[in-house]
């Protein structure tokens, strides 16, 4: 077997997604930092489940159209850095498969090479010893393997998976933090798991858990769909609609010289001027459906094939205006307001703080629940502003925000805030009278003047930064370092403040959903006794998992 068609490729993708899904908890456990976070296995699984849902709405059996749908779904659903990078790898498949009818070892090698190039390009400062290294090495091995005349798809895939596994085992030597924790890179493990699932599906083998136990799964088109969800392949996403007119008609009495190849060319042309393309039929009758901004061009192309009947053109934007008049003012650029601020955060109290400071839209997400690219993009479109400033407030959300920026139709400025206090400082630095360039500079600079820390519990045992931490221990974190380990929240708070407060003037505590107002007030009182030079205040953040988020300036 040295060729794979669209149907088999779709089954392989479903197998890869399923392999990732059944192993995501194991991949999550490879995350080095022992805090509640949006873990790698979960983020990659949610990203590729979104990709498969999109592919399942693609009625075409053409391999390039399936790859494009999968890539689009991956980008829309990308969560966390690992999810964004995964989406870029599969974007490479869509680019390399464009115009191709089959997947051969040579074409698969081109897909991996393009995927590695795009993934590296998406990261400002690529690090070796990560998922990027694994995909690059697999791509290099694929190029070498496809040169063999005897290379069938099964042998070829097994060879590149083995190469991925081999370099994965070397990632601890490339990143000291992995070596200290005694684990391989989680993103790399996820990627190898995906391709192993694709290989096993192709060969008709059981998927495997990472502990080696076989799991009999028959990947189907239902994998990746939410239970009881209803999927319409032409469901409209009005929040960021690209093509305005839903155009449908029949082509009847086709010209005698029309061939199946001509109908295929007609379908490809429609894909170049729109999306949600459906061309069904033969040289007797062809039904067409397309979303496009140029229905006249679609109709003119159809008239070259035959006569038209049952023509229907609907303005989807106008339909949406009538259903949701409260949103209508955002559709015309002349009605866009000058600017809007968007903040990503968890906790109703924290959301209220950002709103009180003038933030227009709060996107729920952060630790343990990284928002998807599509979530951020929808907020950007909902903001209806010429300039939109996005505060990710989490280092694992910044890359998703950047991808949303690239997809937006207005000017989006991503302020690289790594936590809530940095986001708050950035909002306070915003000047509605200043231009966007000045605001980006001032807001970014403001994030650098804040020292933030968190008090939480360890979700896994590890040795790090000189601490031997057991699951359940109360720890203080600053940046990516553990700076305190204590038996109680109060003790960890005191130890952490001692580490970060010297030479500072103010300390702000944002207390989480497990801390009462009374407990927070007592904490302020005790800290004031020990640090009389500090001006201390506490606010209800309501954030889950983190007892306190601290900010010193």
Task: Characterize the bridge pairing of strands 274-281 and 467-469.
Answer: unpaired
Whether domain 332-447 has CATH 3.40.950.10: the reply is no
CATH architecture of 6-215: Alpha Horseshoe (1.25)
Contacts of residue 438, defined as CB under 8 A and 6 or more positions apart, other chains included, come to 431
C-alpha span between 196 and 210 (Å, rounded): 11
In the predicted structure, residue 243 carries a pLDDT above the cut 80: no
| Residue 239: per-residue pLDDT | 47
C-alpha span between 80 and 512 (Å, rounded): 23
Q: Where in the chain is the domain with CATH 3.30.1180?
A: 451-552
The mean pLDDT of 244-259, rounded to a whole number, is 88
| Residue 286: per-residue pLDDT | 83
C-alpha distances in Å from residue 376, one per residue of 273, 367, 443: 26, 16, 19
C-alpha span between 416 and 485 (Å, rounded): 28
pLDDT band at 242 (very low <50, low <70, confident <90, very high): low
C-alpha span between 553 and 546 (Å, rounded): 20
C-alpha span between 493 and 506 (Å, rounded): 15
Q: Where in the chain is the domain with CATH 3.30.70.3100?
A: 245-314
Closest CA to 484 of 416, 548, 436: 548
Q: Which CATH class is domain 451-552?
A: alpha beta
| Residue 196: per-residue pLDDT | 95
CA angle at 230 for the pair 227 and 232, rounded to the nearest 5°: 140
CA angle at 481 for the pair 368 and 499, rounded to the nearest 5°: 120
Between 38 and 153, the more confident residue is 153
pLDDT band at 229 (very low <50, low <70, confident <90, very high): very low
In the predicted structure, residue 322 carries a pLDDT above the cut 80: no
Contacts of residue 256, defined as CB under 8 A and 6 or more positions apart, other chains included, come to none
pLDDT by residue (tens digit) across 380-437? 988 889 999 999 998 889 988 998 888 888 899 999 999 999 999 999 999 999 999 9
In the predicted structure, residue 238 carries a pLDDT above the cut 70: no
Please say whether the dihedral angle defined by the alpha carbons of residues 101, 106, 110 and 113, taken in this order, is positive or negative. positive
In the predicted structure, residue 301 carries a pLDDT above the cut 50: yes
Judge contact between 478 and 500, C-beta under 8 A: yes
In the predicted structure, residue 349 carries a pLDDT above the cut 60: yes
The mean pLDDT of 78-100, rounded to a whole number, is 90
Q: Where in the chain is the domain with CATH 3.40.50.510?
A: 332-447
C-alpha span between 427 and 444 (Å, rounded): 10
pLDDT band at 230 (very low <50, low <70, confident <90, very high): very low
pLDDT by residue (tens digit) across 506-542? 999 999 999 999 999 999 999 999 999 999 999 999 9
pTM for this entry: 0.67
pLDDT band at 500 (very low <50, low <70, confident <90, very high): very high
In the predicted structure, residue 236 carries a pLDDT above the cut 50: no
C-alpha span between 115 and 145 (Å, rounded): 17
Whether domain 245-314 has CATH 1.10.375.10: the reply is no
3-state DSSP call for residue 79?
strand
C-alpha distances in Å from residue 526, one per residue of 171, 263, 484, 490, 492: 45, 77, 18, 10, 13
């Amino acid at each position: 077997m040295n060729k794979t068609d669209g149907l088999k490729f779709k089954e392989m993708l479903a197998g890869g997604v399923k392999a990732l899904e059944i192993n995501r908890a194991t991949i999550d456990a490879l995350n080095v930092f022992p805090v509640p976070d949006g873990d790698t296995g979960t983020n990659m699984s949610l990203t590729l489940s979104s990709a498969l849902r999109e592919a399942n709405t693609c009625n075409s059996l053409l391999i390039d159209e399936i790859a494009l749908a999968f890539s689009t779904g991956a980008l829309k659903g990308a969560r966390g850095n690992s999810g964004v990078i995964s989406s870029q790898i599969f974007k490479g498949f869509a680019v390399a498969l464009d115009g191709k009818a089959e997947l051969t070892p040579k074409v698969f090698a081109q897909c991996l090479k393009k995927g590695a190039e795009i993934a590296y390009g998406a990261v400002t400062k690529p690090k070796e010893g990560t998922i990027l290294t694994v995909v690059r090495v697999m791509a290099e091995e694929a190029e070498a393997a496809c040169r063999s005349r005897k290379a069938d798809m099964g042998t070829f895939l097994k060879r590149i998976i083995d190469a991925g596994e081999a370099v994965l085992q070397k990632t601890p030597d490339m990143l000291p933090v992995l070596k200290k924790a005694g684990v391989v890179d989680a993103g790399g493990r996820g990627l190898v798991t995906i391709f192993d699932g694709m290989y096993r599906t192709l060969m008709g083998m059981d998927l495997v858990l990472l502990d080696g136990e076989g799991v009999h799964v028959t990947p189907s088109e239902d994998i990746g769909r939410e239970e009881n969800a209803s999927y319409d392949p032409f469901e409209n996403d009005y929040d960021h609609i690209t093509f305005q007119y839903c155009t449908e008609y029949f082509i009847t009495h086709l010209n005698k010289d029309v061939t199946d190849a001509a109908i295929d060319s007609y379908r490809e042309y429609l894909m170049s001027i729109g999306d949600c393309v459906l061309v069904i039929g033969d040289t007797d009758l062809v039904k067409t459906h397309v979303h496009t901004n140029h229905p006249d061009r679609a109709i003119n192309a159809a008239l070259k094939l035959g006569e038209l009947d049952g023509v229907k053109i609907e303005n989807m934007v106008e339909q949406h205006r009538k259903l949701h008049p409260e949103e209508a003012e955002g559709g015309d650029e002349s009605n866009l307001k000058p600017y809007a601020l968007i903040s990503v955060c968890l906790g109703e109290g924290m959301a209220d703080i950002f709103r009180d400071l003038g933030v227009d839209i709060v996107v729920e997400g952060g630790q343990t629940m990284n928002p998807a690219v599509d979530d951020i993009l929808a907020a950007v479109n909902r903001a209806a502003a010429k300039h939109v400033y996005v505060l990710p407030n989490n280092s694992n959300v910044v890359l998703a925000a950047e991808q949303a920026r690239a997809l937006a139709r207005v000017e989006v400025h991503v302020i690289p805030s790594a936590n809530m206090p940095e986001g708050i400082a950035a909002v306070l630095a915003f000047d509605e009278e200043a231009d966007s360039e000045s605001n980006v500079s001032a807001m970014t600079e403001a994030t650098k003047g804040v020292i933030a820390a968190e008090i939480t519990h360890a979700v896994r045992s590890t040795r790090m930064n000189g601490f031997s931490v057991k699951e359940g221990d109360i720890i203080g974190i600053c940046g990516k370092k553990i700076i305190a380990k204590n038996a109680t929240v109060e003790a960890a708070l005191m130890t952490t403040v001692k580490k970060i407060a010297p030479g500072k003037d103010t300390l702000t505590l944002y207390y989480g959903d497990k801390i009462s107002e009374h407990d927070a007030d007592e904490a302020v009182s005790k800290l004031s006794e020990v640090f009389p030079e500090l001006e201390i205040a506490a606010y209800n953040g309501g954030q889950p998992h983190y007892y306190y988020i601290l900010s010193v300036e």
